[in-house]
Structures are given as C-alpha cells and as structure tokens.
Amino acid sequence: MGEHLTKQVKDMMFSKILTFEVGWFDQNQNSTGAICSWLAKDANVVRSLVGDRMALVVQTFSVLIIACAMGLIIAWRLVVVMIAVQPLIIVYYYTRRVLLKSMSAKAIKAQEESNKLAAEAVSNL
C-alpha cells in the first residue's frame, strides 16, 4: 500500500511540475537535480506519514490500553504509578523530538544542496 501511494504521489507531482512555465526551470533552485530530489524525498515523506506512522500510532495506543487493563487486573497500585508518570514521559519525548527536528534542519538543507550538485555533475559527465 505504501509503495502504491508513493508511486501515485510521484506521478501526480511530476505531472504538476510539467505544467509549469519554461522560465521556472531556468531558476537555479529548480534545476534537474532539485526536482529529482523533491520527487524522491517528498513522496517518501507522504508514505512514511500515512503508512508507517499510522501503524505505529495504532500499535502504541492498543498496547497502552492492553497494558493498563492487564495492570489494573494484576497489580493496580503499580498501574496507578504508571498512569501518573505517563504524561512526564510524553512531554520528554515531545521535547526531544522538537530539539532533534530543529537541529537537523541544517543537515536537510545541506543534503538537498548536495543532491542537486551530484545530479548536475552526473548530467554534465
């Protein structure tokens, strides 16, 4: 399903790119390498968002509900502590994600530039 979605998104993006004016392709930021990088990166982002992340969210919530239910049956005192600590763990992972995302923004931009440069170098050869 994820691969089919990726192919469909790439086809739609490519057909939309082909409708742009010729002058758009002459800009330095819209070179062949940049367009190939967009097609490769953006379609995979959609696939990972829809396929991988949704499966992870469903799995996480189901495991959490089952663990709380089993814990309430087996050891209710431990579950009360676990439920009290759960918001702290969620806040920790959220702040960690925000920090890592902000730190990796420069790396993503550098990777886009290197992809564009590599594609142009290969086409020039």
Domain that holds residue 115: 2-124
pLDDT attached to residue 1? 67
User: What does pTM read for this prediction?
Assistant: 0.45
What domain count does the chain have?
A: 1
Per-residue exposure over 85-98, b if at least 16 CB sit within 10 Å of its own CB, e if not: eeeeeeeeeeeeee
DSSP, collapsed to helix, strand or coil, labels residue 27 as coil
> Residue 50 class from Cβ within 10 Å (0-12 exposed, 13-18 middle, 19+ buried)?
middle
Q: Once rounded to an integer, what is the mean pLDDT over residues 36-65?
A: 79
In this predicted structure, the answer to whether residue 20 has a pLDDT above a threshold of 80 is yes
pLDDT band at 16 (very low <50, low <70, confident <90, very high): confident
pLDDT attached to residue 38? 79
Of 105, 122, 106, 102, nearest to 36 by C-alpha is 122
Distance CA 69, CA 93 (A): 24
Question: For 47, phi and psi rounded to 5 degrees?
Answer: -65, -45
pLDDT attached to residue 88? 92
